[in-house]
Structure 1
Amino acid sequence: MEISWVAVETPLPSGRMHFGVTPRGVAVATYAGESIAGLPVGVPACPDQRKTSLVTSRLAEFFAGERKEVDLPLDWSLATGPHRTVLQRLLADVPYGATITYGELATRSGVFEEVTEPGLAARTVGQMMGANPLALLVPCHRVVAADGLGGFGGGPHGLEIKRWLLTLEGVLPPTLDWNGPTG
């Protein structure tokens, strides 16, 4: 896969994010530089200034609260089969400021119709969210447990990232230490 990287400073608890771009779009988005699909994160830097500017400006607008969706072209190469189906259903069905439970997403995706073991489909969706190669762009932070936030990838700051993003989107109320936009 021909991939180059755009690093974007963010207000997230994890700091900088890295976006792997291909000729088709963004194929990888990662918090805190964790590797996805064994790809070395950050090297080589994207030589295309138009792509770099587009990624950087859209993210800046999103984190400033000026944009409801990042809306970048996506390259789905690293999400295949049922995983891609579930991620695409999430992207299509769950807008900014909304959430869905793991179980509801499992049902809506249609992928788990043959699964009869209670909770298995929801747990599998949770694992799929943790393996989302397009973090933030395909908003896995909007998928929550039936009884609370659930888990989140993103390295050691995972749950803090999820809380920050859900606060940005108005799902959670700001805390006293909120460092995001105020209106």
Structure 2
Amino acid sequence: MKQGLCLFDTPLGRCGIAWGERGLVGTQLPEVDERRTLARLRRRYPELQEALPPEPVSAAIDSILALLRGEPRDLREIVLDTAGLQAFALGVYELARAIPPGQTRTYGELATALGDPGAARAVGRALGANPFPIVVPCHRILGAGDWSGGFSAHGGVETKKKLLFIESGGRGQQELF
């Protein structure tokens, strides 16, 4: 699979995706406008050029779109190129990917599952640096007591609420946190 990046339309706006020889290297949630989404993706991957996505990337886009249309999808089949990521972050991302759509966990629960109950803030930092939003569903991780926690995508917590709303089958946002 050659490398490249592209934008694609979703119910949230234009998202971005970048890929390399070993799988996806990153995804990008929509920014204020398409130009900024592309600019952010290019800043993260300056060596990549816009290209038509190869079949595995097209399949990943289709799965992401299905999830964002409210269809229950498990995106763990999407191959990620995790070269250069720290072992702790990889553990966090693996646990996050195992959370089914429409469900949530807390930062503390992930820290405990990693064998370090005091590492909730480190879990939050790893999720804040997540290069694969949606595919690694950092939006499914909440703070203690169903506090929303942060969200580094454009729109912050409101974007997190939208994603959880879609995945929860349209339950009212007030029910989410």
Residue 5 of structure 2 is matched in structure 1 by 5
- For 1:57 and 1:172, the matched residues in 2 are separated by 21
1:120-139 to structure 2, matched below 5 A, reads 121-139=119-137
Cα deviation digits, residues 55-100 of structure 1 (max 9, x gap): 33222222222342234222112422211111112223x1112111
Q: With CA pairs under 8 Å and 6+ residues apart, which has the higher RCO, 1 or 2?
A: 1
More helix by share: 2
1:54-133 to structure 2, matched below 5 A, reads 54-70=59-75, 71-92=77-98, 94-110=99-115, 112=116, 121-133=119-131
* Alpha-carbon distance change, 37 to 101 in structure 1, aligned in 2, over 3 angstroms: farther
* Structure 1 residue identity aligned to 2:96: L
Cα deviation digits, residues 1-42 of structure 1 (max 9, x gap): x74112121222xx2111111122111012233747952469
**Aligned residue-pair number:** 163
Structure 2: 5+ residue stretches without partners? 32-36
TM-aligned CA deviation for residue 144 of structure 1: 0.1
Contact residue 139 and residue 164 of structure 2 kept, 8 A: yes
> RMSD value over aligned CA atoms?
2.7
TM norm structure 2: 0.78
Structure 1: 5+ residue stretches without partners? 114-119, 176-183
- For 1:107 and 1:37, the matched residues in 2 are separated by 36
- For 2:86 and 2:42, the matched residues in 1 are separated by 12
